[in-house]
Amino acid sequence: MENVTHGFCSREEWTQWFADYNLIVSEINDASYELIVSDLPADEWIAGYRHNSRQIREAYVRNEQMLDRHVRWFTRTPGRWTREVADPLTDSLFRFITRVQDLGCAYEIADSLVDFYSPLGDETALMKCYTVRAFSYGFLEPIHLGSRAYEDCVRAAVFYERHFMELTPEEQSMGLSIYDLEFDRFINCLKLGSITPGLLDDMLACYEAANRAAAYVIRTDQGYEFNRIIPDFAYYMGFGALCLMPGMCMAAQAEVIYQAAAHRQHDPDRSGKAPSLNYRVRTGLVYRMAQRLLGLCTDETILAELTQLTQEYFPTLFTGATYSQGAVEAVSAIQLATENLTRHGEKEPALYQAVQELFARYFTTRPYTTFVDYVCGSYNYCYVLSALPHICDEEILLQTLLKLTMFRQVQTAMHSIMVGRLALELLDRLIDRRPDLLSGQLGTTSPEEVVRRRKEFRRYLYSGALLHDIGKVLCSSVINAQSHRLGELEFQVLMFHPVTGGEMLENLPCLSVFRDIALGHHKSYDGTRGYPQEFDNTASPQKIFIDIITICDSLDAATDHLGRNYATAKSFDTVLEELKAGRQTRYSGDLVDLLDGDKDLCAQVRSILEEGRRDVYYDVHKMILSELSVPLKPKKDHDWLFDLGLPYGID
């Protein structure tokens, strides 16, 4: 056989190629994480950040060449696919999809191969492609792409069940992940309170199908490596008890949930090993809550056990910023059970507060990998929409919300603070020169009142700047995808973030005033371009604030000379010309004129973008580093609600 210059003709070669590619991505993520948690002096840290940016850029170029040669050569011209290349590639991805770091690449391959295999009628190959595509959807953005992931899971499950006895032992085992991903959707719905009889019926049907297949896989196992970890369907089914109140489901459904939880409690591990502490905590709590559904355990009993966990279990979780699936499940189980039992803090407020602090601290300090980003993103989003609305302390609410994105996406943290500093400069000049443009905002009735209430305007706008990208909590895998060009699906995921931010802020009463800033900062001034299309920024009462954030967002993003796009960073003067070219269409004419006509303002903005950036980046690093070692009790020494202890006073 002649040498193949594009792609490979064996599963081993494809697997090795992905391993090499994944290693490059993992090393970049590891280096970024190590720098974040390092305690270097400012000059050394900035030098390390610059070095990482260069390494990322070099990896980007190298990876793009690899992808163009071995992946895009086929996906961009689908007629080039052949079975000798496609079959081993499909097998490799199906086997190792949870280890793939570049989900955009996996999606592009699977999506192209669905079209390749469909005319051939190869349902086993299609099952694998649908599964890979479903995981790509689910891992990249589990909420807004959740329905697409579920649809592909349903398609894959039909073929899996139809051909089950014809499949190899490996295909039978790995196909269980189809049900695993379906349960992820069910669990997210439960966390968000989207509980219907139909949802529980679908869970029961999935549980029965998964159990049949898993029982056969376990019964016929001959010590296969791929059977070392089997999805824990009994735990997934029992999980429903964490989110359900007695009487919320039918007796038969409650009985199945209880039996699943009891099975897991009394038959912990087929390996015979002693269960870990994390396992015992999450399984025991699910079992107790399932007993509660049937009236076999009281709220008071479980609350007493939760209180004991705060004293004995919580301290064990912070021995290092490592990832443990068992610990993640245990922390989530504790948080959900506490929400349920305390009625969102109405009962046992001290316990409720301790658990909320635990959840926020734990999930903001996990390291970077594609899988961890997926887990943390969906957990954090569900937590924001279900738990945070019940936190009454506005300081704790805002701090918690920002921390859930701050550590997960350091670039977003740095960018948001840069936008905040720039926005304050524009706002000050606007109040000095054109306070009439702000009259009517924040309840003011005249330009004179705007001037008197300058401090209030500064607080409001700075908070809006910090929150404008909060929706990126669900797309950490894309934000942290530093080593390749984003694909079509990844761009779709990125474009969801204004909607996600709007959803989150709208659900938080004391922060809902910032909803339109999150929704509108990627729309053009005249509303004709940008996203989301369905949001009309021209009709927003907060339009002037949206316009300020939009300009500052563009200024910072285009001039970042320290980050991974340093090679394409523009000068302030270049960006100013672009702002002027987009006057009254892309950007507010009044704001562009204000900036262009004020030399002192231009000098201050240039200083922030050039010299000030270094200070912001290092200060964000120090702030994050301090959060890794603080006690669970929140700090209460801030001068005002939105300070967050940052060095940039706005009073």
Least confident of 132-146, 401-415, 541-555: 401-415
Say yes or no: 218 and 237 in one domain. Answer: no
Mean local confidence (pLDDT), 252-257 = 97
Instruction: Give the pLDDT confidence score for residue 356 in this predicted structure.
Output: 87
395 located within any domain? no
462 located within any domain? yes
Say yes or no: 502 and 619 in one domain. Answer: yes
Domain that holds residue 70: 1-192+203-224
CA atoms within 13 A on the CB side of 105: 28
> Which residues have a Cβ under 8 Å from the Cβ of 117 and sit 6 or more positions away?
86, 90, 125, 126, 129
Residue 461 pLDDT exceeds 90: yes
- Could you tell me what percent of the chain has a pLDDT over 90? 68
Say yes or no: 211 and 92 in one domain. Answer: yes
CA atoms within 13 A on the CB side of 7: 21
Residue with tokens 């270097």: 40
Say yes or no: 364 and 416 in one domain. Answer: no
Instruction: Give the pLDDT confidence score for residue 452 in this predicted structure.
Output: 98
Instruction: Give the pLDDT confidence score for residue 153 in this predicted structure.
Output: 98
Instruction: Give the pLDDT confidence score for residue 407 in this predicted structure.
Output: 64
Residue 190 pLDDT exceeds 90: yes
81 located within any domain? yes
> Does 186 or 364 have the greater pLDDT score?
186
Q: Quick one: tokens of 205? A: 């049907």
Instruction: Give the pLDDT confidence score for residue 31 in this predicted structure.
Output: 84
Least confident of 110-124, 286-300, 483-497, 597-611: 483-497
C-alpha–C-alpha distance, residues 316 and 650, integer Å = 38
**What is the model's pTM?**
0.90
583 located within any domain? yes
Instruction: Give the pLDDT confidence score for residue 632 in this predicted structure.
Output: 38
What Å distances lie between residue 33 and 405, 408, 455, 488, CA to CA?
15, 10, 37, 27
Alpha helices in 387-441 (DSSP H): 394-406, 410-433
Confidence category of residue 644, pLDDT binned at 50, 70, 90: very low
Instruction: Give the pLDDT confidence score for residue 637 in this predicted structure.
Output: 39
Residue 622 pLDDT exceeds 90: no
Residue 320 pLDDT exceeds 60: no
Instruction: Give the pLDDT confidence score for residue 326 in this predicted structure.
Output: 86
Instruction: Give the pLDDT confidence score for residue 415 in this predicted structure.
Output: 93
Concatenating the DSSP letter of every residue in 553-590 gives: HHHHHHH-SSSTTGGGPPPHHHHHHHHHHTBTTTB-HH
- Could you tell me what percent of the chain has a pLDDT over 70? 92
Instruction: Give the pLDDT confidence score for residue 372 in this predicted structure.
Output: 74
Least confident of 226-230, 266-270, 381-385: 266-270
Buried b (16+ CB within 10 A) or exposed e, 291-302: bbbeeebebeeb
Instruction: Give the pLDDT confidence score for residue 409 in this predicted structure.
Output: 80
Say yes or no: 381 and 254 in one domain. Answer: yes
Mean local confidence (pLDDT), 430-454 = 97
Residue 640 pLDDT exceeds 50: no
Give, as one character, the DSSP assignment of residue 643: -
Q: Could you report the per-residue pLDDT of 125-152, keeping only the tens digit for each?
A: 999 999 999 999 999 999 999 999 999 9
Say yes or no: 376 and 407 in one domain. Answer: no
C-alpha–C-alpha distance, residues 578 and 557, integer Å = 13
Say yes or no: 362 and 491 in one domain. Answer: no
105 located within any domain? yes
Q: Domain end: 364, 390, 416, which one?
A: 390
Instruction: Give the pLDDT confidence score for residue 197 in this predicted structure.
Output: 84
Q: How far is CA 351 from the centre of its chain?
A: 27
Say yes or no: 602 and 461 in one domain. Answer: yes
Instruction: Give the pLDDT confidence score for residue 496 in this predicted structure.
Output: 95
643 located within any domain? no
629-637, long-range: CB < 8 A, 24+ apart = 632/314, 632/354, 632/357, 632/358, 632/361, 633/357, 634/357, 634/395, 634/396, 634/399, 636/395
Confidence category of residue 517, pLDDT binned at 50, 70, 90: very high
C-alpha–C-alpha distance, residues 125 and 511, integer Å = 48
Least confident of 116-125, 153-162, 483-492: 483-492
Mean local confidence (pLDDT), 501-519 = 94
Strand, coil or helix: what is 523? strand
Mean local confidence (pLDDT), 495-518 = 95
Mean local confidence (pLDDT), 306-310 = 93
Residue 305 pLDDT exceeds 50: yes
Q: Domain end: 390, 415, 447, which one?
A: 390
Residue with tokens 């029992």: 238
Say yes or no: 218 and 236 in one domain. Answer: no
> Does 356 or 644 have the greater pLDDT score?
356
CB 467 within 8 A of CB 501: yes
637 located within any domain? no
> Does 246 or 99 have the greater pLDDT score?
246
CB 480 within 8 A of CB 33: no
What Å distances lie between residue 105 and 75, 136, 462, CA to CA?
10, 9, 37
Confidence category of residue 55, pLDDT binned at 50, 70, 90: confident
Radius of gyration of the chain (CA): 26
Say yes or no: 208 and 243 in one domain. Answer: no
Split into its structural domains, the chain has a count of 3
Confidence category of residue 323, pLDDT binned at 50, 70, 90: low
Q: What is the mean pLDDT of the chain?
A: 89
Residue 456 pLDDT exceeds 50: yes
Say yes or no: 272 and 220 in one domain. Answer: no
636 located within any domain? no
Q: Domain end: 357, 390, 423, which one?
A: 390
CATH of residue 559: 1.10.3210.10
Say yes or no: 514 and 554 in one domain. Answer: yes
